[in-house]
Structure 1
Amino acid sequence: MDVDLTAVRWTKSTYSPENGGNCVEWAPAYASTTGTVPVRDSKSPAGPAMMVSADAFAGLVALARSADL
């Protein structure tokens, strides 16, 4: 399924470093209206986005919080 995400407002993860590096962005407004969370690599904003369910995204966040990163 192709989804047009060009007008979506992206938010950088609070776990992403200030200097760039490995950054993940997600679109909370899109998620709140659809129940699907777009996730992308901030270094490649024109690249693909991974679409995950809200439950799957919550699991990813929980994993990131619990991991020794």
Structure 2
Amino acid sequence: MRDIDLSAAQWRKSSRSGGNGGNCVECCFDFLESDSLIYVRDSKDPNGPALRFTRDEFIAFTEGVKNGEFDL
């Protein structure tokens, strides 16, 4: 996969993320019109790496979270 410059991306954090000590992730949707990927990064390290997911992968992950598939 090619390297993407995410410096101009508009990152979003959940409105529910406040007050938990900064343990948040930020997402960037539709960064490029030709790019149907979702990027996820650690809000405490905005210059660090970002994970890249297809829409289907991201939907499967969020559905798994909602269904408790990753509960410890």
Question: What TM-score range do you get, normalising by the shorter chain?
Answer: 0.7 to 0.9
Across the aligned residues of Structure 1 and Structure 2, the Cα RMSD in angstroms comes to 2.1
TM-score, length basis structure 2: 0.76
**TM-score, scaled relative to structure 1:** 0.79
**Within-5 A mapping of 1:1-69:** 1-13=2-14, 17-19=17-19, 20-30=21-31, 33=33, 34-67=35-68
Structure with greater Cα Rg: 2
Across the two proteins, how many residue pairs are aligned to each other? 67
Q: Equivalents in 1 of 2:14, 2:64: separation in Å? A: 14
Q: Which amino acid aligns with 2:38?
A: V
Asked if the contact 2:24/2:43 (under 8 Å) is kept, the reply is yes
Tell me the secondary structure at the aligned position of residue 31 of structure 2.
helix
* Counterpart contact for 2:22–2:43, Cα < 8 Å: no
Unaligned runs of 5+ in 1: none
- The letter for the 1-side match of 2:11 is W
Which structure carries more helix by proportion? 1
